[in-house]
Amino acid sequence: MALLAIDGHVHLHDFDDPAPVIRRAVQSSVIRMVSVGMDRESNRRSLELAERFPYRVLPAVGYHPWSIRAEEVEATLEDMAKQLPRCVALGEVGLDYRVKVKKELQKEVFSRALELAREQDRPVIVHSRFSHQRCLSMVLEEGVRRAVFHWYSGPEDVLDRILDAGYYVSATPALALRTKHRSAMERAPLDRILVETDAPVRYQGRRAEPVHVWTTLKALAEIKNRSLEEITRRTTENALAFFGLGPLEETPPCDCP
């Protein structure tokens, strides 16, 4: 059987024309992509893409800390509450202590988003740049059942607490570039790792696409000293469990234009 992979975190709304991006991914056996939102407009686009490319694009609605505007908070969260039943996850949400958005406002939005996820029993995709400890504390306090700490590059003691809580961390193509990210993936057990691209972020000047999840998988195989086949199979199984998805074998042939 061919290796089948899932990109657990991609911002498809950021591509001018996502159709060829999705097609290239599916042709390379990256057959499902979690389209992650950041605000009202990107959430809307993710849901539209999921309708346009069923089985391939799996929507997640979120409110990224970079995108928070005080005058938009109520409308954005209200929309998310209505949209979440159609989604596989809530995200991207969290905290970022390197942006100018006031920390108290970030924490208010994150807390309310976590409450939504708990109420609707959806997994959470957590952005935790320079705020790893606080994000974990808030996720635990809210009683969220499933969470993944996106592109984890934080302290080892916080990583250990994330893993002890049964949560996941995700690996990106930055494994080849970032020492802290690489160290975290070396420490995390394979059954607690998801793989992603965070496309269209750039790595070494190259704009990522979901097809580049194979870059992540190959780097992870090297770090773990396992075969690409085993790494792909196990991280795909992790994603299926985390997002509550059916077997990939049930996915119909590509209908991408």
* Domain encompassing residue 222: 13-250
Average pLDDT of the residues in 194-215: 96
Is 212 annotated in some ligand binding site?
no
| CATH code: domain of residue 196 | 3.20.20.140
Give CA angle at 204 (12, 169), nearest 5°: 60
pLDDT at 67: 97
255 band by pLDDT with thresholds 50, 70 and 90:
low
In a domain, residue 242? The reply is yes
Q: Say if 6 falls within a structural domain.
A: no
Cross-strand bridge partners of residue 149:
126, 169
Asked if residue 8 is part of any domain, the answer here is no
Which token pair is 27?
């042709």
User: pLDDT band at residue 254, thresholds of 50, 70 and 90?
Assistant: low
pLDDT digits (tens, 9 = 90+) for 152-165: 999 999 999 999 99
Q: Tell me the per-residue pLDDT of 133-186, one tens digit each, with 9 for 90 and over.
A: 999 999 999 999 999 999 999 999 999 999 999 999 999 999 988 899 999 999
Please give the pLDDT value at position 46. 98
3 state SS of 57: strand
DSSP calls for 112-140: HHHHHHHHHT--EEEEEET-HHHHHHHHH
Instruction: Report whether 92 belongs to an annotated binding site.
Output: yes
| 198 in a structural domain | yes
Q: Is 4 contained in some domain?
A: no
Given this model, what pLDDT does residue 177 score? Answer: 84
High-pLDDT (> 70) share of the chain, %: 96
What's the mean pLDDT in 195-205?
95
The structure's pTM equals 0.96
Residue 184 backbone phi and psi in degrees, to 5:
-65, -40
Domain count, the chain: 1
Residue 11 in marked binding region? yes
Would residue 5 count as lying in a domain?
A: no
64 annotated as belonging to a binding site for a ligand:
no
pLDDT at residue 247 above 90? no
Q: Is 132 annotated as a binding residue?
A: no
Other residues' Cβ atoms within 10 Å of the Cβ of residue 100 = 6
In a domain, 1, yes or no: no
Whether pLDDT at 234 is above 80:
yes
Q: Is residue 246 part of a domain?
A: yes
Q: What is the Cα–Cα distance from 123 to 167, expressed in whole angstroms?
A: 10
Residue 212: the pLDDT is: 98
- The predicted model gives 180-203 an average pLDDT of 97
